[in-house]
Amino acid sequence: MYEPIDPSFFQEPVLQLAHSLVGKYIVHESPEGLLAVRIVETEAYHGPEDRAAHSFSNRPTKRTEVMFGEAGSVYTYQMHTHVLMNVVAAAEGTPHAVLLRAGEPVEGLEQMQENRGSHIKKIADLTNGPGKLSKALGVTMKYYGHNWAEKPLYIAEGLAMNEVETSPRVGIGNSGEAVHYPWRFYEKDNPFVSKYRK
């Protein structure tokens, strides 16, 4: 049913890619079974022009070097105990990326619940944030540098979305004027969008 999207999909400019990703599927053919979510929320990070981006310095580090590579690469990083998933955008050497913030479960709900823990009672709370999303899908740092057009972790074609809205991004309070950039994209009225509202 699911197949990796054509690699050319990731060649879009980062703001356009962040919008285009809403409605696509994240699929993980994990050892525990097939897991899939429909992307309902993303954030764009515009590299050296964006004080909120990890690559604002425009200098590769051990953490960010993949951002300077091929569009469609997986940029995973850890925040506290959580792994967050990103899609590298733009031409090589231009460190832009899209954060995958939330998804709606489509396949493998029982395994997602097991991955997240029995204390999660509401289905919407399984995947309504970037760290929750990665954990539900069983995605770890081992996918750093993988490509989103290749199995076992990939982006697949999705369904048409309802209206996509924009807002400022979440949790970037110390980034100057970048706080106000409307670079968060989400499906209007979808209950799996993260709890942040604007």
CATH number at residue 137: 3.10.300.10
pLDDT at 126: 96
Domain count of the chain?
1
pLDDT at 198: 43
pLDDT band (50, 70, 90) for residue 87: very high
- What's the per-residue H, E or C state across the chain? CCCECCHHHHHCCHHHHHHHHCCCEEEEEECCEEEEEEEEEEEEECHHHCCCCCCCCCCCCCCCHHHHCCCCEEEEEEECCEEEEEEEECCCCCCEEEEEEEEEEEECHHHHHHHHCCCCCCHHHHCCCHHHHHHHHCCCHHHCCCECCCCCEEEECCCCCCCEEEECCCCCCCCHHHHHCCCEEEECCCCCCCCCCC
| 118 found inside a domain | yes
| 179 found inside a domain | yes
Domain coverage including residue 16: 7-187
| 195 found inside a domain | no
Mean per-residue pLDDT, 163-185: 84
Q: Is the pTM of this model over 0.85?
A: yes
Per cent of the chain over pLDDT 90 is 69
**Span 118-171, pLDDT tens digits:** 899 899 999 999 999 999 999 999 999 999 999 999 999 998 777 999 998 888
| 177 found inside a domain | yes
